[in-house]
Structure 1
Amino acid sequence: MKQTDNLSESTSIADKLGIPAPLFWGFVGLLFFMIGDGVEAGYLAPYLEGQGISSRNTALLFTIYGVTVSLSSWASGPLSDLWGPKRVMWIGLAIWGVFEVVFLTFGVAVNSYPIMLAAYTMRGFGYPLFTYGFLVWIAAATPPRQLGSAAGWFWFAFSGGLPTLGSLFASFSIPLIGEMATFWSSLALVMFGGLLALLMTREPIGSRRLAAPGTPPAKIFFSSISILWREPKTFVAMIVRTINTSSEYAFLVIMPAFFTKVIGFSLSQWLQLLSIIFLSNILVNLVSGITADRLGHRTVVALFGCVGAAITVPLFYYVPQMFPGNFPIAAAMGALYGATIAAFVPLSGLVPQICPKEKAAALSALGLGAGASTWVGPAIVTWFENWHGIEGIIWIFSGLYVASALMTLVLTVSPEARRYIDAAAARGDVAEEVTLGH
């Protein structure tokens, strides 16, 4: 493609950093979008509980929201194939904005739980269409030599906003303008970032249908889900990816009250702690990929990710109780936890090697797992909070990470897949262009 050739010849600063120059403003806009999306992450749960919404209903809100996030995460790839990534991003931005207004005006402002539940559930379709639509755009328009670094920058902007800088923004804005005004500021940030990305990014590939002309929509959608039983290892990888960040979303429900009521932190301190956790996470996102190239993808995921998280989850719960009110110690435990969660990143490099003939569908399975984690975590809280409280939930997640370590051991590259990769390398087309939903 001519556009791809132009990208490969770029000598701009963005290009040298590994960011495709024509998509530069898309990355900047994504960061602002995710900052806005992440503003509420650390304080929505305690705010609702403070308004009389039970912790169980709060967890249910997050759980059902996560279901729509999961569905939208998977659908973003096939829809981008059908309509083009840019149109999908526009739809995601519109959904987020409309239902956030409904959520705040007719739900939160008047404390109507049914409206909150309905609006928040529908808003869940918004951010995956915008963000993963952009990821498809990156995969479609980026030359092979830049695809790895471009994907790294995508996750850097994604995690940098949600919830790292989003929570940090909230920690300073809540004391200044209050909780409700901070909710509205998140809408402003999302719209600013979304419009910046879509209006300033004029790269042509993202504006057109990516699927081959004449490909039936049913075939595009079906191939993105049938791979789970046609290639069982992709199903295992999806489960591992679901476990990966499920604890994060559970902690957004249960940990605000734990750290403010049990450990003695202020809400601002909790939000700053959350920012530290995810600052560690986004930094190790970059490091774990480099380490995986040297030690092996499975090794990094199984040892540093799965086993590491099985250890750091209990540490994050028990150690702060030994030193109540001690922010540096809690921050250290949080940083360790965030680092182990980031060590799952090499899954994105391992799965395309397992299914080299269907890289796009394999990546779509990982997207489905990532979306599923947003509701599985809160669902575990909903189902088991009355069992042994937070402590019981902590040990459930620790056990799940041990199980994920065992599952990761089966994620081997078959001899047939290895031969295909070697043959493709010999032909010079090993780094094919990939989308999430083909």
Structure 2
Amino acid sequence: MSSTRLDPRSEAGPAPRHWTERIGIPRPLAWGFIGLLIFMIGDGVEFGYLSPYLLDQGVPGQRVALVFTVYGATASIAAWFSGALSDMWGPRRVMWAGLAIWVVCHILFLTMALTTVNYGLILLTYGLRGFGYPLFAFGFLVWVAAATPQRRLGTAVGWFWFAFTGGLPTLGSLVASALVPWIGPYATLWAALGLIVIGGLIALLMVNEPTGRRRLAPEGERPIMTLLGSLTILWRRPRIGVGAIVRTINTAPQFGFLVFLPIFFTDTVGFSLEQWLRLLTVMFATNIVFNLIFGVVGDRLGWRRTVAWCGGVGSAVSVLALYYVPAAAGPQYALAVLVAAFYGATLAGYVPLSALMPSLAPEHKGQAMAALNLGAGVSVVAGPAIVAVFLEPLGVAGVMWIFAVLYLASAVMTMFLKLPEETGGRTPGGAGAPGRRGATAEPEAEAAPPNRE
């Protein structure tokens, strides 16, 4: 009688998870996060010195401002289209398009525009380059949203924002501070191109996860309808429209602060310009760390709760502290550092919104992300516009109260962003859900999402 020997592997428990999975990074996308970080470092190299460099080349200040205004407009448009094009082409092709636009326009900017100091070419090439980084970065964000199991999505988007803000402006500015004194500002812009190419190729050639290689929109949907759908979804799915408003409120005060807080902290509180810049650095550095922390917290506590309480209510409190503590204490730098860090931390409380929005429309994740990115683009304009209208009649305190009330309103609006399974609709992320097929798919029983209250 023959005996049957069991394969020892059949008695073993589940294979241990890879270390990237244990820290919340989907293993098939891990190289994408590394590539994104390097890409955004390259994009952020110019952040702190391109404006004065153009002034040194003889470009008048108003014209420099127009260059960055056009750049901001094209970047906002590209951020919106990144989701819609991902639905139509697939995120990977959108990322390739973003990388190609960045590289080609930057080379033209360096070789034709800067060398001749031709303002028309500077405006054209740098403005068109604004389409590049949002297509690459936010195309990858759509890929993350489409391919990550829902119960880990908050942590994954936390890692996305960790890499994004870690590169722009933090490590990018640090690289520039080392290279500009060594090789000069012009050569540093060429070095930035090298980082862009390295980061882009790492993300696009090292990631083999299949979800990002195909269109995310339902089969048979026409391209025009896919593009229009990225706009009409704002009223077809009212919760998506509300989420876009919440995203606008998220960073509108941040952009508004850059208009008047430097004057407040230097002229009113009594800090030097260097001290104010260090405060700003502390704010952004804290935000980077808490982008990751609140991604994890969102998966544990619930996405809506995290955005509403840590983001909305927390930012309402911190924005008032950012004004009243320095105004009352005067030039007490340690206290100012604490409130700046407090605001940077609460601002990151909105990170789970990047997981919540695509889950509100599981069959149109790209369109939902387009709405999210549209809100981000509008915030660039909305914040400074609020300051322009209300600063003179209400003063700094009045503007800060307006921002605080907006944050509280966003907390209330967030509580209405219920997932389909909470309103009796189809559960996203189950077996066969659109945009969820691929290497990171998990067994149906394991993929059931927790309550996202």
Query: After TM superposition, is the score higher than 0.5?
Result: yes
Q: Which moved more, 1:230-239 or 1:139-148?
A: 139-148
| 2:164 paired residue among 158, 161, 169 | 158
In structure 1, which of residues 385, 402, 405 is the aligned counterpart of residue 405 of structure 2? Answer: 402
1:65, distance to aligned residue in structure 2 (A): 2.0
Do the aligned partners of 2:162 and 2:291 also contact (CA within 8 Å) in 1?
yes
5+ residue gaps, structure 2: 1-13, 438-453
Task: Quote how far apart the aligned CAs of 1:29 are.
Answer: 0.7
CA deviation profile, 1:381-400 (whole Å, cap 9, x unmatched): 7x569x649x9578546513
Alignment of 1:92-107 (within 5 A): 92-107=98-113
- CA deviations on 1:282-341 (whole Å, 9 max, x unpaired) are 2212333444466654554344433443454465578678766x8655543432221121
Q: Name the CA distance, whole Å, in 2 between partners of 1:236 and 1:346.
A: 15
Supply the distance in 2 between the matched residues of 1:9 and 1:310 (Cα, whole angstroms). Answer: 45
1:259, distance to aligned residue in structure 2 (A): 7.7
Paired residues of 1:37 and 1:186 also in contact (CA < 8 A):
yes
Query: 2:286 maps to which residue?
Result: 280
The runs of 5 or more residues in structure 1 that have no matched partner are: 1-7
CA distance, structure 2, for counterparts of residue 112 and residue 314 of structure 1: 45
In structure 1, give the amino acid aligned to 2:227: F
**Does the Cα contact within 8 Å between 1:164 and 1:276 map onto a contact in 2?**
no
Find the aligned partners of 1:355 and 1:329 in 2 and give their Cα distance: 43
TM-score by length of 1: 0.79
Q: How far apart, CA to CA, are the structure 2 residues paired with 1:200 and 1:293?
A: 27
Partner residue, 2:214 = 208
Residue among 187, 192, 202 paired with 2:198: 192
Cα distance, 1:358–1:16 mapped onto 2, change above 3 Å: same
Give the 5 Å matches for 1:365-376: 365-376=371-382
Aligned residues: 420
Question: 2-side partners of 1:413 and 1:84: how far apart?
Answer: 26
Equivalent residues in 2 for 1:65-84 (5 A)? 65-84=71-90
**Which stretch of structure 1 is more off in the superposition, 309-318 or 337-346?**
309-318
Distance in 1 separating the partners of 2:180 and 2:336: 22
Contact 1:34 1:190 in 2 (8 A): yes
Distance 2:118 2:384 in 1: 21
Equivalent AA in structure 2 for residue 406 of structure 1: A
Indicate whether 1:130 and 2:133 are aligned: no
Residue 139 (1) aligns with residue 145 (2): yes
Deviation at 1:72, TM superposition (A): 1.1
Instruction: Give distance in 1, aligned partners of 2:246 and 2:383.
Output: 13
So what's the TM-score if we normalise by structure 2? 0.76
Paired residues for 1:349-364 under 5 Å: 349-351=355-357, 360-364=366-370
Q: 1:433 to 1:22 in 2, by over 3 A?
A: same
Tell me: CA distance 1:182–1:203, structure 2 relative to 1, closer, same or farther (3 Å): same
Paired amino acid for 1:151 = V
Q: Which has the larger radius of gyration?
A: 2
Q: Find out whether 1:90 has 2:96 as its counterpart.
A: yes
SS of the aligned residue for 2:413 comes to coil
Q: Provide closer, same or farther for how the CA distance between residues 418 and 20 of structure 1 changes in structure 2, counting only shifts above 3 A.
A: closer
Residues 107 and 333 of structure 1, relative CA distance in 2, 3 Å threshold: farther
Give the letter aligned to residue 332 of structure 1.
Answer: L
Amino acid at match of 1:402: V
Which one of the candidate residues 272, 280, 290 is aligned to 1:264?
Answer: 272
2:403 alignment partner AA: L
Instruction: Say what the alpha-carbon RMSD is for the aligned residues.
Output: 4.0
Letter in 2 for 1:264: S
Q: What is the letter of the counterpart of residue 167 of structure 2? A: G
Contact kept in structure 2, 1:168 and 1:275, CA below 8 Å: no
In structure 1, C-alpha distance between the alignment counterparts of 2:293 and 2:140, rounded to whole Å: 23
For residue 111 of structure 1, report the CA deviation from its aligned partner. 4.6
**Residue equivalent to 1:18:** 24
Q: Give 1:233 shift.
A: 3.2
Matched-pair identity in %: 49
How far does the alpha carbon of each residue in 1:86-117 deviate from its partner, in whole angstroms, 9 at most, with x for none? 22211101111222233344445555444333
